[in-house]
Amino acid sequence: MKNFTLTANYTWQKALDNGSNVRNALPANSFDLRREYGPANFDMRQIFTGFVTYDIPGLDKLKRLTNGWQLNALMTAHTGEPIDVLSGTNRSGSLDNRDRADLVADPFAGVAARATPFGAIPYFNPAALRPAAAGTFGNLGRNALYGPGFGAVDFSVFKETPITERLKAQFRLEIFNLTDRANFANPGANVNSASTLGLITATRNGNSSPGIGFGEPRNVQLALKVIW
């Protein structure tokens, strides 16, 4: 279609390692690094991105007013990020302090029936997880569970107006998270913190910069640029 551009990418992948963060990749057992082999911290199995641009045709009789308009939309969606569920106490006696939990049931069964304080959202059932048995490192593997997925549509309107042969002014209206979708952070994953285990208490980036991070609630930005 004339004046219309569409780019789309889909990735289906699996990322495995035994430590994603070089400085902070502490193992549960320093003498058994094979046990750490599992999903990487950035393992998102499916990712879709799409970008659409439409240059609106202008009218010959109203060139300055109608020329230079452009509509843009950026779509991003991906499955959840891994969750590493820890016992929260030194159950193994190794002092590495990364003992994982014991999984004793389906963590996603019976979730909806859970009462939660302060509007927190239940994501998995804490009764399915227990501290590792004394002298063990827990039966749950590294990054064994996955958190909620992500989705956002960002929309913008641009208007470029020539000032001189080399100088242009660009007006921009940008709307982030157009549909105002709630994109949640991973739930609490420390068995020793029973009050937050399995509960979602924040949105993505919500702890550090609520309202302005990637995927946060809808917000609108106006800008004026000078291009030369």
Per-residue pLDDT reduced to its tens digit, 104-163? 999 999 887 666 667 789 999 999 999 999 999 999 999 999 999 999 999 999 999 998
Which residue, 200, 198, 171, 167, is CA-closest to 185?
200
Q: What is the pLDDT at residue 212?
A: 64
DSSP helix/strand/coil, 148: coil
Which residue, 49, 47, 33, 40, is CA-closest to 15?
40
Is 70 inside a domain boundary? yes
Is 63 inside a domain boundary? yes
Beta strands in the chain (DSSP E): 4-12, 16-17, 38-39, 46-55, 69-78, 82-83, 102-103, 121-122, 129-130, 145-146, 150-162, 168-176, 199-200, 219-227
Is 126 inside a domain boundary? no
pTM: 0.86
Q: What is the pLDDT at residue 113?
A: 64
Q: Which of 98-112, 139-153, 175-189, 213-227 has the lowest mean pLDDT?
A: 213-227
> At 62, is the pLDDT very low, low, confident or very high (cuts 50, 70, 90)?
confident
Long-range contacts, stretch 224-228, CB < 8 angstroms, 24+ apart: 224/169, 224/170, 224/171, 224/172, 225/169, 225/170, 225/172, 226/167, 226/168, 226/169, 226/170, 227/160, 227/167, 227/168, 227/169, 227/170, 228/166, 228/167, 228/168
Is 19 inside a domain boundary? yes
> Which range marks the domain in which residue 194 is found?
4-83+142-227
Residue carrying structure tokens 């190794």: 94
Domain count, the chain: 1
pLDDT of 9 > 70? The answer is yes
pLDDT of 211 > 70? The answer is no
Is 191 inside a domain boundary? yes
Is 37 inside a domain boundary? yes
What share of the chain has pLDDT > 90, as a percent? Answer: 68
Q: Tell me how far CA of residue 21 lies from CA of 17, 98, 212, in angstroms.
A: 10, 14, 26
Report the pLDDT averaged over residues 22-43.
88
Q: What is the pLDDT at residue 175?
A: 94
Is 31 inside a domain boundary? yes
> At 76, is the pLDDT very low, low, confident or very high (cuts 50, 70, 90)?
very high
Task: Say how many CA atoms lie within 13 Å of 226 toward its Cβ.
Answer: 3
Is 25 inside a domain boundary? yes
H runs (alpha helix) in the chain: 63-66
